[in-house]
Structure 1
Amino acid sequence: MTFDPAMLFALPLILALGVICLTVVCVVALLRARRTDTVSVVRALPDLAAVFLRRRRR
């Protein structure tokens, strides 16, 4: 497999496009969700973050 310098320029563009698509999908999902669902998910985020941090420390 040879190194293609063109990929060095294409990789950031591909990653940026992926981030933009992910952002659009998340925003559309939030807009389509019912308000009570969104509020309960946002309230659960600190607990979820705490679980991941505890698991990471082990």
Structure 2
Amino acid sequence: MTLPEDPMMLFSVINMKLRDNYASLDELCDDMNVKKEILVQKLKDVGFEYSQENNKFW
């Protein structure tokens, strides 16, 4: 699956996948072959930060 370029769509898709399929962001990135640093930065640029405790961006 190709991740959306639009930051709000990316936020939605990543949180849905974290909620439904992955126990952690590391697991998602490994499985989807995505660079964690780039994903985190893209979402941080629009105001979202990852909460490991809640396993989601907000």
TM-score with structure 1 setting the length? 0.31
More RCO (CA 8 Å, sep 6+): 2
TM-score with structure 2 setting the length? 0.31
Structure with bigger gyration radius? 1
